[in-house]
Structure 1
Amino acid sequence: MKESGLPDRYENDAAEKLSPEKQLSPEQQDLKNAIKAFCIAHQHDEHAVFLIEGDAGTGKSIVINSIFNEIQSLSRSSDKSSPFWKTDNYLVVNHPEMMKLYKNISESYPALKKKDFERPTTFINRMHKSGKKADIIFVDEAHLLLTKSDKYNHFKQGNHLEELIKLARITVLVFDEKQVLKFKSCWSQGLLKSLVRGLPCQTYHLKTQFRVHAHQDVLDWIEGFCQKKILPMPQKQTFDLRFFADAQDLYDAIKKENARYRLSRMIATYDYPYRLDGEDHFIREGRFTLRWDRSKPDEKLPWAERPDTIDEVGSVYTVQGFDLNYVGLILGPSVLYDPVTDGIRIDTSRYEDGAAFTGRDGLQDPEGTKERIMLNAINVLMTRAVHGLFIYASDPALRKRLVQMQASRDAA
């Protein structure tokens, strides 16, 4: 990705970045055209699936929102010659923060209505009750769909995506296997292929990184870390990758960037206790103390856009799918230095997200899956930043290794 200097003011908010009117790159426009052509070609089929793949930050959600707005505009227009006229279409996403964002965006576009956007369980249960079938379902963050029943969330069937495909002629979905975060959503390419086998299916893979405005050495470093490797320190560049010996110093730096450009936040791996009990729960690292994000399901703005959340630490569930200008990331006690490999190792017993590891029935390698989920979470957290990623490691040995690596580069 080519470097991009910061503007005089802060970056646009998430609603603007995901706007249906946002200018697309040639690759993204090509994808949009391919989706539209696929929908027209298969509009009379019983079922068909269009799969959008790509790493975090390649603009998958931007494309899906753009084409959804266009198709809804044609559906609700007076142009009876359009193949999309009076089609019944929906966008579903199993992510409450992203749902807030989509519904907020819909208020600015006459072709979009809030009822067009639903969580998958709500949509599936409603459609089964009505006996109806949609023409096109767009599924953002499909890697968050449930792969097994969940009585707690009122999902009685066996797989979200399987049910969604049954309920639509065409299903367009965004999928990234590296963003799977729970046993209950334990997706793999094999499982995905088994669900679309025998159906007309087209896959498009986005490759260009748009979120992280950094040279390739930074992107390689992040990818390597999520594979338990510590690659050489990237060269100095406009993207600011920094390691901190003190968590409070990191927080002070993030507050400084937030005052200048906004949309800069603290986030952490799920290695610190947190419960939905109405109380505040805190992350403590040395002289640093800050509360986890407060649960506010009725809050209209997503966590990443609320000014008050500079005084909180977000989790992977808070920021997945969102851009931040600067990220202050605390790697908690589960992320350890491995002197034998000069890499990292993951201690799955230190992970505090118990909900992520419920529903292990049927998993062939639960321990290996736990590690994969935790590394996926680190990947999501590390790929939120547009202009700078500041990292503090709780493990003293890992912290020392990262800070020394940075000092050696700066002294060269």
Structure 2
Amino acid sequence: MDLTQNHLYINQYIFKKEKIKSIEKEQEHTSNHPIIYILYDDLKKVAYVGESTNVTKRMNDHLKNIDKKRLKYLYVISSPYFNKSAALDIESNLIKYMSADTGYSLLNGNAGIVEHNYYQKRYYFEIFENIWKNLKLKKVVAKDILDIDNSDLYKYSPYKSLSVDQNEVVIQYLERLSNQKEGPVFVEGSAGTGKTILAVYLIKLLVTHVTIDSIDKENTDILEKYQKINSFRNYLQKSPEIALVVPMTSLRKTLKNVFKSIPGLKANMVIGPSEVVKKDYDILIIDEAHRLKRRKGLTAYGSFDNTNKSLGMGHEGTELDWILSKSKYQMFFYDEAQSIRPSDISKKTFSKLKNTENTIKLSSQLRVKAGIDYIKFVNHLLTKKNVQNLKKFSSPNYELALFSNLQEMIHQLEYKEKKYGLTRMTAGFSWKWVSSNGTDAYDALIDGVKMTWNRETKDWINSTNSLTEMGCIHTTQGYDLNYCGVIFGNEIIYNTKTNKIEIVKDNYFDTKGKGGVNDDDLHLYIINIYKTLMYRGIKGTFVYCCDKNLERYFSTFISLQ
């Protein structure tokens, strides 16, 4: 079976009622097989992607729709080898990639389908790649798949297929909204479980107006979601006032840029915690909630105190309190293991709000190709938990390597950048930020290599591909990379006498990260920082240790290059 040659058909038609019958006649070779289609207007740059087992009925339905009947042309993609799972998967990929290609504004809603495996799924993705190449030749799409894969608009796309547990979160939350059950919900998941993607997905879903009559009744999952949303809208008697709260400045700027490019979303829907006081919200969705601040170790106490004062709160008020006071419904995406500063609201405070009824778990690992096994490995490695049972890491899907020479690690990362893109260097806060004044000074000298901290504090990931520029935790948390270099600095060592990983406080230069913190808490923060950095890489992580004893400890479990 080779669909790339003689059994894949991509035909173009004029989208008019009198032409519909000819489509069915020409598609006789796929009788009773599903087809995928693209309705579009090449002048207005508007499109709709769909899938159906009855092309005539589906096109006639679209001709009754006020928005879709205005579209002018139709591509029908068909094959006698398509099955329902494959067609749904190809449809989903077309929506995801076309939305990130930005050539066309999609009319599709994003209730989507649940990600699942099926027979020959990998093979059908190759078919999708062939379809994409054909569409590119026809100038329906413009960008290559790899370029789209590396774009923020794709990574944070609300048109992604959901994992089973992500979909369960959506269903449970929509059920809560339709029953008018106010108050907080917590979605817990480690790095890479798709929390940010799910946050963007939910906002797009909640602001999109879809009539129940326009939904294919075969799509029961989609139908159920919009029924719940419409029930909630009817209760409010309006569209919900909604925003995405992002505590970290860098990630907030990135997501604002993403929201600008998605129909129905606006950049001003992405806000910082202090902005919630400007109006009352129906729903606030909080990404990286573990980074919400309390009044401790802050840069600007005056601004913080003024916000508390405006809400009638004393000095004990927190960004969490602000959110709860200015909204009826809240969804917090939370991971206590990514708390990295004393200004972060404590686990104890969140625990007072959480219970079994309002807490949902995400477990599927969607970022790291090695899956949950890698996440557990890094946790055991850095906490020395059950390390006696830890084996040297090996995975056919992931490249984890330890380097004793930084120049060699940079050389290997440069190769990965040329091949895959989106490869960056990161490090623990083990050097003063000398270059922050804009001079040509370097911040660290390692193995003869002059290294600088990130020269941009907002959206740094997209500002450079220099591998002698190090991203700190504050500019990388929440991002995906293809390959991530991690430099373990002089603030973290391995004590061969105690056989423990230890922290050297004097070598840690995040002043807001260690002020007023006891040694145990600082140890936890720094371990959390390195775990979070090691969870950034999709395809691989390269590690360098300034402390040679730490390198020797790591080499027991990570292959030394």
- After TM superposition, is the score higher than 0.5? yes
Tell me the residue number matched to 1:155. 304
What's the secondary structure of 1:37's corresponding residue?
helix
CA contact (8 A) 1:243 1:391 kept: yes
Q: Would you say the 8 A contact 2:401–2:542 is kept in 1?
A: yes
Match of 2:506 among 331, 338, 349: 349
Q: How far apart are residue 404 of structure 1 and its match?
A: 6.1
- The letter for the 2-side match of 1:325 is N
Can you list the C-alpha shifts for 1:185-233, whole angstroms capped at 9, x where unaligned? 1421x21132468xx9611010111111116553332011231456432
Q: Distance in 2 between matches of 1:318 and 1:367?
A: 25
2:529 to 351, 372, 377: 377
Aligned pairs for 1:41-190 (under 5 A) are: 41-42=179-180, 45=182, 48-74=183-209, 82-84=231-233, 85-124=238-277, 126-127=278-279, 133-148=280-295, 150=298, 152=300, 154-156=303-305, 157=308, 158-188=317-347, 190=348
For residues 238 and 104 of structure 1, the distance between their equivalents in structure 2, rounded to whole angstroms, comes to 31
TM-score (norm 1): 0.85
Taking the aligned partners of 1:148 and 1:73, their CA distance within structure 2 comes to 37
Amino acid at match of 1:324: L
Q: Unpaired runs of 5+ in structure 2?
A: 1-116, 130-144, 213-225, 309-316
Query: Partner residue of 2:46?
Result: none
1:130: which partner in 2?
none
Superposed displacement of residue 163, structure 1: 1.4
Match of 1:338 in 2: 495
SS of 1:185's partner is coil
What SS class does the counterpart of residue 226 from structure 1 fall into?
helix
CA pair 49-399 structure 1, distance change in 2 beyond 3 A: same
| Counterpart check, 1:293 vs 2:445 | no
CA distance in 2, matches of 1:56, 1:112: 25
Structure 1, residues 239-291: CA drift from partner, whole Å, max 9, x if none?
A: 11100010111111111100100011110011111154334542221122221
Distance of 2:374 and 2:299 partners within structure 1:
42
Letter in 2 for 1:205: K
1:368 to 503, 520, 544: 520
- Secondary structure of 2:202's partner? helix
In structure 1, which of residues 33, 36, 47 is the aligned counterpart of residue 171 of structure 2?
33
Contact 1:293 1:309 in 2 (8 A): no
Aligned CA distance change for structure 1 residues 281 and 160 (closer, same or farther; 3 Å): farther
Deviation at 1:120, TM superposition (A): 0.5
Change (3 A) 1:168 1:216: closer
Whole-angstrom distance in 2 between the partners of 1:312 and 1:375: 22
Q: Give the 3-state SS of the residue equivalent to 1:219 in structure 2.
A: helix
Q: Tell which structure's C-alpha radius of gyration is larger.
A: 2
Paired amino acid for 1:369: D
Give 3-state SS (helix, strand or coil) of 1:155's partner: helix
Q: How far did 1:348 drift?
A: 2.5
Name the residue aligned to 2:105: none
- CA–CA separation in structure 2 for the residues paired with 1:400 and 1:196: 41
**Deviates further, 253-262 or 20-29:** 20-29
User: CA–CA distance in 1 between the matches of 2:271 and 2:495?
Assistant: 44
1:293-332 equivalences in 2 (<5 Å) = 293-297=454-458, 302-332=459-489
Q: Give the deviation of 1:406 after TM superposition.
A: 4.7
Is 1:273 matched with 2:432?
A: yes
Residues 340 and 15 from structure 1, CA distance in 2 versus in 1: closer, same or farther, beyond 3 angstroms? Answer: farther
CA distance in 1, matches of 2:490, 2:392: 22
Deviation track 1:154-206 (CA, whole Å, cap 9, x = no partner) reads 11232111111111111111111011111111421x21132468xx9611010
AA paired with 2:358? Q
- 1:208 paired with 2:386, answer no
Greater RCO, CA 8 A, separation 6+: 1
CA distance in 1, matches of 2:371, 2:185: 31
User: Could you say if the C-alpha distance between residues 405 and 120 of structure 1 is closer, same or farther in structure 2, counting changes exceeding 3 Å?
Assistant: closer
1:370-390 CA distances to partner (integer Å, 9 max, x unpaired)? 111111101111100111111
- Residue 74 of structure 1: how far off its partner (Å): 3.8
Aligned residue pairs: how many? 384
| Residues 90/218 of structure 1: CA separation in 2 closer, same or farther (3 Å cut) | closer
Q: Give the equivalent residue in structure 2 for 1:263.
A: 422
Aligned AA (1:245): S
The gaps in structure 1 that reach 5 residues or longer are 128-132
CA contact (8 A) 1:51 1:201 kept: no
Paired position in structure 1 for 2:24:
none
| Amino acid across the alignment from 1:37 | E
Question: CA 1:337/1:40 → structure 2, altered by over 3 Å: closer, same or farther?
Answer: same
2:207 maps to a residue whose letter is Q
Residue 379 (structure 2) pairs with residue 223 (structure 1): yes
What secondary structure sits across from 2:478 in the alignment?
coil
Q: Please give the TM-score of this superposition, normalised by the length of structure 2.
A: 0.63
In the aligned structure 1, how far is the partner of 2:393 from the partner of 2:325? 47
